[in-house]
Structure 1
Amino acid sequence: MLHTALPALLMMLALGAALGFVGGLFGIGGGIIVIPLLVVGFGMDQAVAQGTALVMMVPNLLIAWRRYSQRHPVALKTALQIGMLACLTTWAVAHVATRLAPDTMRTVFSLFLLALAVRLLTKAPASPTAVAPPPRSLRCMPLVGVVGGGAMGLLGVGGGLVATPILTGWFRQKQTVAQSLSLALVAPSAIIALLTYSAAERVDWNMGLPLAIGGLFTVSAGVAVAHKLPEKRMQAAFAWMVLCTAVWMLVKPLVLG
């Protein structure tokens, strides 16, 4: 029993560490990566995989949020507004999403991410001599919580993938600042989602806790690397990550049969 349990434990710790680094680097929880791995690699039910992934995501998101906030302090009022709107939208959309065809909604969301990634990658670089436009007014920024919360309610993941490009594009925030703000949206939504899945007994704590522990050791390193990379390289890396996510979500039904 011990000989079979120990390798599985080490695998979960290593996977959690890898996803914790990615989560810290891009300001996401890593659930969009670990959920299909749990389904394909461990034969886990989709709902249980999503609930188990949340065990890892919640501490990763909270630590990343704290680290980003230390470097880019966000007004508490703005963070609370974004978080509250995200939580309310997540709750409302989740109730609607349960009545919709999940495959159709997943395909629509995937195509949206694909178009977003292509736009980010094909956006013409700014001229070195051009004067950068000032950031827009932050008065409407809490509404980003509605958009990101909608994505969280629809699929349980993806809030940061949607919110970050809006914050960098429309509100003209730096990539790392945008990731800090998106974490204010995703972190509280993930807590609500975890409590909901746990109450429904859709969480495998034996797998989720090692994933979470592994991520605790690497989230801060991912945040540190994000702040050392040039702004353009971070934006390109984020766009490629969104593109890969969109492609995977489109081909996942074929892989899972």
Structure 2
Amino acid sequence: MNPFDLILNLVLGLILGTLGGLFGIGGGLIAIPALGILFGLDQQLAQGTALVMVVPNVVLALWRYHQRNRIDPRHALLLGASSFACAWLASLYAVGLDVSTMRWAFVVFLLVLAAYNLARLRLAPTTGAGGLRHHWGWFAPLGGVSGALGGLFGVGGAVVATPVLTSLFGASQVVAQGLSLSLALPGTAVTLLTYALYGHVNWWMGVPLALGGLLSISWGVRLAHALPERLLRVLFCAFLLLCAGLLGLK
């Protein structure tokens, strides 16, 4: 890798790390279309390479969110365990899919998430109480479904769990993002391992992205706690639509 590419990847990692901390998703959602468009990586290779950045970003972001809003270990363990098992199985399936089919499935996935979040902005209250409306035992199926989708698309599952935690469980946006990161950590780790074993990781690109992300993700976490609840949700919807649009153009 030449110095220009190294600097470019570091700068891209800084941007993605900030976004990952802001939305509690590790940065993978925007990294995947960025790697596909800027560097021409196919869908599986983009997802695997993005995970090199996402895994350490999730670790640091989880710690930062825990410092500001303590995460119950029982909740984290249940979400993490169910996510791990389902992400592993889904990632084994994902590595064998056709590249074009995978890309368009990912675009549809992002559009559905964006539509769901936009509907919540119109129909649901704009603020969460911070507590939980339902027993935390329901985190097991939530972790399983989110982990499976995360393993399939290489995004960690937090992007699925966050809106469910705010709309169905009544958690505030920042509390939901912290809980979602505890779900994402084991899921992203096992998904990265699977993609790496099948040769769908570019480590020369992924490591500089990870370094940039680690330097900037704390900025995003601080910004998430400073922004109004409704604005954070609007930005999250715009972020999903942007990612879908970038991939659709590829």
- Does 96-105 or 30-39 show the bigger shift? 96-105
How does the TM-score come out when normalised to structure 2?
0.88
Q: Show structure 1 runs of 5+ residues with no match.
A: none
Find out whether 1:72 has 2:73 as its counterpart: no
Distance 1:223 1:8 in 2: 27
Q: CA offsets, 1:52-99, max 9 Å, x none?
A: 111111111110011001111112121011011011111233345546
SS at match of 2:201: coil
How does the TM-score come out when normalised to structure 1?
0.85
Which residue identity is paired with 1:7?
F
CA contact (8 A) 1:117 1:242 kept: no
Q: CA offsets, 1:10-31, max 9 Å, x none?
A: 1111100010000001001212
Deviating above 6 A after TM superposition, structure 1's stretches of 4 or more consecutive aligned residues are: 131-134
Q: Show structure 2 runs of 5+ residues with no match.
A: none
1:40-189 equivalences under 5 Å are: 40-97=37-94, 98=96, 101-102=101-102, 105-106=105-106, 108-123=108-123, 125=125, 135-137=132-134, 138-157=136-155, 159-189=157-187
Which residue identity is paired with 2:109?
F
Which residue identity is paired with 1:76?
P
Name the CA shift for 1:94/1:7 in 2 (closer, same or farther; >3 Å). Answer: closer
Which residue identity is paired with 1:84?
A
Which residue identity is paired with 1:77?
R
1:20-35 equivalences under 5 Å are: 20-35=17-32
Distance 2:130 2:200 in 1: 47
Deviation, 1:114, is 3.5
Find out whether 1:9 has 2:11 as its counterpart: no
Name the CA shift for 1:41/1:242 in 2 (closer, same or farther; >3 Å). Answer: closer
Percent identity at matched positions? 42
- Does 240-249 or 58-67 show the bigger shift? 240-249
- Does 190-199 or 109-118 show the bigger shift? 109-118
- Does 93-102 or 240-249 show the bigger shift? 93-102
Please tell me the root mean square deviation across aligned C-alpha atoms, in Å.
2.5
Name the CA shift for 1:112/1:45 in 2 (closer, same or farther; >3 Å). Answer: closer
SS at match of 2:2: helix
